[in-house]
Amino acid sequence: MRFDPLSPVDELCGASGPGHNGRMSEFVRHLAGTCAVVLDSPHSGTAYPQDFGHACDPQLLRRAEDTHVDRLYSFAPELGVHWVEALFPRSYLDANRGLTEIDESLLDAPWPGERPRSQAELAKVRLGKGLIWRLTDDGLPLYQRRLSVAEVQRRIAQCWQPYHEAVARSIDAAHTAHGYVLHINCHSMPSVAASHATDHPGLAHPDFVVGNRDHSTSSQALADWLCDQLRGSGHEVWLNHPYKGVELVRRYGQPAEHRHSLQLEINRRLYMDEQTLQPHAGFERLQGVLRDLVERLVALDPRGL
């Protein structure tokens, strides 16, 4: 697989951190940790495969990325945290979607697998934000062609499956070693919701949004603890609005088994220029806040909350 020169793939696929069991592919970076905390970043990938075949201006397409989220958490491996990162862009395939969230209007033939069933799955597809995106956040079509079924199946095999295998392996390893796991699904959000990004276009976002699908993927006590930590650093934090969490917390969060999964959204205005995508002076301060938060997570046993 070759990649578009939007980003330096050699840098993305560099060696693993010291003391970690790094599993690398051209699509997923996985660094095994030693503590009970698992972080994953499904939307920060910037290596655009040359078979993408999109029809968008590349700079407009890049606004779909959770740009620099991988860099914000670059300290995680040295704390013993399990780390999983998508190197492919979310607009190529969205690892935070289920395999049933297929937009058949993109395809040149009927999809042979399962189709969207729940209203939540249908809502993402209608927004053009299914497993394979049809529209940008501003409602611009990604393609001027139909995708073949084989093409979509190949993306699933090369991107979705290894990403979820890495997350599941990390969560299982942490739970086996410690009896509990704290999984944070790491994201960023624009300062103001775009027209086709969510069901709340034009909404001005707070500094952080914590999501646990209305306390179904983690305990309420842990969600409240996470919100309190961030508020203690002087930030505005919302819980389960407008982002509750999607596939990666839904699939792996089982709080009754001490498997806690939460989604954490960071407002991009805190750390970068949203037009140029360049980090600004707030990046280092925010990274310090996140490091302090993760250090506290590493020391936390949620069974005591």
Residue 4 has pLDDT above 90, yes or no: no
Q: Give pLDDT, residue 24.
A: 60
Average pLDDT (167-187) is 98
Q: In which band, very low, low, confident or very high, does the pLDDT at 198 lie, cut at 50, 70 and 90?
A: confident
Q: In which band, very low, low, confident or very high, does the pLDDT at 22 lie, cut at 50, 70 and 90?
A: low
Average pLDDT (46-64) is 93
Q: Give pLDDT, residue 304.
A: 97
Q: Give pLDDT, residue 8.
A: 32
**For residues 236-267, b (16+ Cβ closer than 10 Å) or e, as one string?**
ebbbbebbbbbbbbbbbbbbeebbbbbbbbbb
Is residue 128 within 8 A of residue 196, CB to CB? The reply is: yes
Q: Give pLDDT, residue 115.
A: 85
Residue 11 has pLDDT above 60, yes or no: no
**Rg, the chain, Cα only:** 18
Mean of all residue pLDDT scores within the chain: 91
pLDDT single digits (tens) 264-304: 999 999 999 999 999 999 999 999 999 999 999 999 999 99
With a pLDDT cut of 90, the percent of the chain lying above it is 82
Sequence ranges of the domains in the chain = 3-94+158-304
Read off the pTM: 0.92
Q: Which residues pair with 211 in a beta bridge?
A: 263
- The CATH class of the 3-94+158-304 domain is alpha beta
Q: Give pLDDT, residue 9.
A: 32
At position 206, the amino acid (one-letter code) is P
Average pLDDT (188-215) is 92
Window from 71-75, 113-117, 293-297 with minimum mean pLDDT: 113-117
Q: Give pLDDT, residue 1.
A: 52
Greater confidence (4 vs 138) lies with 138
DSSP the chain: --EETTS-HHHHT-PPPTTS-EEE-SSEEEE--SSSEEEEESS----EETT----S-HHHHHTTS-TTHHHHTTTGGGGT-EEEEE-S-TTT--TTS-TT---GGGBSS--SS----SHHHHHHHHTTBSSSBSB-TTS-BS-SSPBPHHHHHHHIIIIIHHHHHHHHHHHHHHHHHHS-EEEEEEEEE-SB--TTTSSSTTPBP-SEEEE-TTTTSS-HHHHHHHHHHHHHTT--EEESSS----HHHHHH-BGGGTEEEEEEEEEGGGTB-TTT--B-THHHHHHHHHHHHHHHHHH--GGG-
